[in-house]
Amino acid sequence: MTERVMVTGGGGFIGSHLVKALLKQGYEVFVLDRLNETKISLDGKKANLISADITDKKRIDSVIKDTGTIDFVFHLAAQVSVAFGEANPEENRKINVDGTRNILDLAKACNAKGFVFFSSAAVYGDAKSFPIKETDPTEPINQYGLSKLKAEALCLKYTNSFDVVIIRPFNVYGPKQKPGDDVVSVFIDKISKGEPLTFFGDGSQTRDFIFVDDVVSFSVSVLKNTPVRQAVFNVGTGKETTIKELAELLMKLKGARVPVVHLKERPREIKRSVADISKIKALGFEPTPLEEGLKKTLGRMVR
C-alpha cells in the first residue's frame, strides 16, 4: 500500500524540492500551504493540494477530518525571517510555535508514524566551539532562533505518539530560492544585474552552505532508515566559507565582476557557523561541494 506523506510549506523553497522528490519515489503526497499566496508547480500535479494556514486551528481540524490517515509529516511551514521575528515577536511565536503545535496535533490525530521537523542552525546562536555538534548548547540570539528551539521542545513531547526527527539545516541554497532569502540568492541576483555586493564588515564571517538537493535527499532517507523514537541531525557540509570567498566564487562562475560595498557590521551578527556532520555521514550522507552546487544552481536557473 502506498504510504501517505504530508508536507507543510510544500510550496516554499525547500518544500517544493521535497515534494518533487517524494512524488518521484512513489509516495502519495499532501501539500499543506497557503496556496493562495504561493505559486506551486509540481510534475504531473500528482500532489494533493490543501490550502490552509497552520495557525488556523479550526481549518487544521477540518483538514484532519478530510484527510484521514497520514503515515509521515514533514513540517516546513514557518516564518523564516530574522528581521520579521525581531519586529513582530508575537506573530513569529504564533506561526513557529503555535503553528507547530497544530501540525503535531494533526499528525497525532491522523495516526502518523513519524514526524520530521525542520528547525534551524539558528538554535545554536553564537556558538563557542566548532564545528557545531548536535549536543552543543542551544542559545539562540534572536526571536526566530528562539521560536525554533521552543518548537523543537514541543515536538519532543509527542514521542509517545510517533517518532520525531529534528533537522537543523545550515545555510541552504539552490534553484527556486527567491532573491533576498539568503546571501547566495542575493549575490546571484546582484551579480546578474551588474550591481554592487554588500559586505557587512570585511566579509570574513563564515557560513556552512548546503545544497538544497542534499537536504532533500537526507530528509527522504529518514523515511527509509530504521525508526528511532527521537533524533536530531545537523544538515550541512562540515565546511565553512567566508562571505568574501562566496562572492569571489560566484563572480568566477558567472564570469562577471562587480564592486563590493563595505558597511558596518550588523549588531549581534554570528561570526562563524559550520556544522559537525559526523552523525549524518555515519548514515552514508555525502554533501555536494559548494562550487559544484553553485554550478548546478546557476545551470538550473538559466533553463
Cα torsion 175, 177, 183, 185: sign: positive
252-256 contact pairs (CB < 8 A, 24+)? 253/291, 253/294, 253/295, 253/298, 254/188, 254/191, 254/192, 254/298, 256/191, 256/194
Question: Which of the residues 27, 144, 158, 173 is marked catalytic?
Answer: 144
Residue of 208, 200, 222, 203 whose CA lies nearest to 280: 222
Any idea what the Cα angle at residue 144 is, between residues 126 and 58, rounded to 5°? 155
Q: In angstroms, how far apart are the furthest CA atoms of the chain?
A: 57
- Is residue 147 packed enough to be buried (19+ CB in 10 Å), middle (13-18) or exposed (0-12)? buried
The residues facing 234 across adjacent strands are 168
Contacts of 41 (CB under 8 A, 6+ apart): 16
Is 144 among the residues known to form the active site?
yes
Active site residues: 144
